[in-house]
């Protein structure tokens, strides 16, 4: 469920940025009739890059953590279903390692 929400947020993030830029351009045009739309769009772009950039970074971090978690699950599954020789070697290594403490 959370994967679907993160993917949806990543998609919606683009539209949020466009809306922010459009609103700032409109407000700039209202308050400064000459070249206010351009000035407002520049300010809107800066605000959108900060807000949506943070959201995009968080989504990217989540996706990277998802890849790491999937890799760990695969490695754990492979180590528990290893050959009997591997399990015997791992058990022997665990018994022969010195305990420091």
CA R_g for the chain: 26
Please say whether the beta carbons of 26 and 39 come within 8 A.
no
35 falls in which pLDDT band (50, 70, 90)?
confident
Region label for 34, one of left (φ > 0), alpha (ψ between -120 and 50) or beta (otherwise): beta
Query: Rounded distance, CA 79 to CA 51, Å?
Result: 42
Task: Write the pLDDT tens digit of every residue in 39-91.
Answer: 999 999 999 999 999 999 998 998 899 889 989 988 888 777 655 556 666 66
Query: Rounded distance, CA 42 to CA 21, Å?
Result: 8
pTM for the complete prediction? Answer: 0.65
Count the Cβ atoms, other than its own, within 10 Å of residue 44.
Answer: 23
């Amino acid at each position: 469920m959370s994967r679907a929400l993160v993917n949806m947020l990543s998609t919606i993030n683009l539209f949020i940025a466009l809306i922010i830029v459009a609103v700032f351009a409109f407000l700039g045009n209202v308050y400064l009739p000459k070249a206010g739309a351009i000035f407002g769009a520049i300010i809107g772009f800066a605000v959108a890059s900060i807000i949506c950039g943070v959201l995009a970074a968080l989504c990217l971090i989540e996706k990277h953590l998802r890849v790491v978690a999937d890799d760990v699950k695969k490695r754990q599954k492979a180590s528990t279903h290893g050959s009997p020789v591997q399990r015997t070697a791992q058990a022997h290594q665990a018994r022969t390692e010195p305990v420091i403490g």
